[in-house]
Structure 1
Amino acid sequence: MNWGMRIVIGMAIAMSSIVAVGIYMVNQDTDTLEETDYYEKGLDYERVYKKKENLVRYQRKVTLNVVRDSLVLSFAEENNKGMVDFIRSSNRSLDQRIHFITSKSVYRLPIKNLKKGVWHIKLDWESQQRSYLQEEQLYLN
């Protein structure tokens, strides 16, 4: 067999494998960009956007400070009600949600049960008939 024939056979194998992979991908039912509940998520996005907009418009950003084994939340106003989500990207089973009601502008959350590392904090609360949402990264060591 000469070199020309080997090149033609190699190109034919390469082209047929590309076509086979293309056919396989087209026949797959799953599409990772498609969501079944896109309408509900769209409605929820409006709510989330409004809460984040309120945070900026009314300047209600909460200060987060770690003091020993507590997370101190310092609000701009008194009488707050809401929840804090502790989200661990690396392990979903460690995620926690803590509900709170405060009469003062400072609230302490115990965090001694949280593992060390990076946490995504979602703070969703109401104060004075307005809803707010703040997201922060927190590193516990």
Structure 2
Amino acid sequence: MNWGKGIIAGMIIFMLFILSMCIYMFRMPKDEYDHQYYEKGLSFNQDYAKERQVLADQAQPQIRVTGAEVTIAFTGPAKGTAKFIRPSSAAMDKTFNIQTGAEKTALLPVGSLARGRWRILLEWESGSKNYLYEKEVAL
């Protein structure tokens, strides 16, 4: 085989490589990026202030997973939301409303959620202060 055939073979192999990479990239799922990226960037300072408020007031809620329920114990009466975020699929995310009374605990039924790793994003108001807390749990 002479050097001309080697160059042609190399070019064909390179073109097949580029073509296979194009096919691979077009088959990737389209929801691999955050569609609300810019909106979240605009509200970053407010979220950061809420997270710092949790640390300043030492108001980290205690989260316990027991079977088909998640128990969240707050330091005071709370009203807000608990968002269960599945890292592998945004379609499986679920939001629960939280309304605690004097007992300061919330019971969330999570029996319908898939087993595995979840992030819990708690956003609540207690007294006149707003809080934001995030924790990773295994259901």
TM-score by length of 2: 0.72
Write out aligned runs for 1:25-104 (5 A). 40-76=39-75, 78-104=76-102
Provide structure 2 residue ranges, at least 5 long, that are not aligned to the other structure: 9-14, 16-33
Cα deviation 1:62-117 (Å, max 9, x = unaligned): 000012211000101x3210000101111111100111111131111111111100
Which letter does structure 1 place at the counterpart of 2:137?
L
Q: In the aligned structure 2, how far is the partner of 1:93 from the partner of 1:126?
A: 27
Which letter does structure 1 place at the counterpart of 2:101?
S
Name the SS of the counterpart of 1:134 in structure 2.
Answer: strand
Match of 1:132 in 2: 131
Match of 2:12 in 1: none
Which letter does structure 2 place at the counterpart of 1:126?
E
**How many aligned residue pairs are there?**
127
Query: % of aligned pairs identical?
Result: 31
Match of 1:107 in 2: 106
Q: 1:39 to 1:110 in 2, by over 3 A?
A: closer
Q: Which protein has the larger Cα radius of gyration, Structure 1 or Structure 2?
A: 1
Q: In the aligned structure 1, how far is the partner of 2:128 from the partner of 2:98?
A: 16
RMSD: 3.1
Cα deviation 1:18-59 (Å, max 9, x = unaligned): xxxxxxxxxxxxxxxxx9977643330011000000000000
